[in-house]
Amino acid sequence: MNRKEMKATVAQAVLDAARWKEDMAITNHYGERVWLCPSYNREGKRTGITDCCLVDDPCKHHAAIAAASTQQHPSDQKRGS
């Protein structure tokens, strides 16, 4: 990979990380902490993302994601506790 291709790859990675995605907790335009989910039109075609639920009151799907992301890896726990 040459230097120009590497810069383009790094730039794309930064942009991808900055984009809102489904199953991501964000602060929306109203200042609320919400989880995002896919949005669909009346024909069932995916049209983007939308607010799903509040972070403080998540749906079952997002509660499971939040629980999984806060669990400690066994190697992070202190021995004997």
Q: Mean pLDDT: which of 11-25, 45-59, 66-80 is highest?
A: 45-59
pLDDT for position 70 = 80
Mean pLDDT of 69-74: 68
pLDDT for position 75 = 55
Indicate if the pLDDT at residue 58 is higher than 60: yes
pTM above 0.75, yes or no: no
Amino acid at 50: T
Average pLDDT value over all residues in the chain: 83
Question: Look-up: residue for tokens 């992301």?
Answer: 69
Q: Is 49 exposed, middle or buried (0-12, 13-18, 19+ CB in 10 A)?
A: middle
Structure tokens at 21: 């995605």
